[in-house]
Structure 1
Amino acid sequence: MANLTMPEYIDPIIEFQDYQTLILCSIAIFPNMYFLHRCIKYKLFSKRKYFKVMTMIMSSQYIVNSTVHILFCGYLIICYHTNIKVNVKNCSKFNIFDVSNDQILIITPFYLHFFRFWFVVINKKTRYFVAIFIMIIIITIGPIIYIDIGQYFEINIYYIPKSGCGYQIFSHLPFYTEIIHFNSFVIFILPIILIFINYLIYQYAAKKMSNNNKSKMAECRRILKGLIVQGLFTLIFQVPQLIYLIYYRMG
Structure 2
Amino acid sequence: MGDTRGISGIGDADDIGDMGGIGDAGQVGDTGLSDGPGQAGDAGGADDAARAEDAGRADGSSGGETLGGRDALLARAVRLRESGHREEARTLLLTLSERCPDDAEVAYQTAWVHDTLGLEAEALPHYVRAIQLPGLSDDDRRGALLGLGSTYRILGKYPEAVATLRDASAEYPDDGALRAFLAMALYNTGRSRDAMEILLHQLATTSQDPEIARYRPAIEHYATDLDATV
Question: TM exceeds 0.5?
Answer: no
Q: Which has the higher strand share?
A: 1
Q: TM-score, normalised by structure 1?
A: 0.23
Higher RCO (CA < 8 A, seq sep 6+): 1
Q: Which has the higher helix share?
A: 1
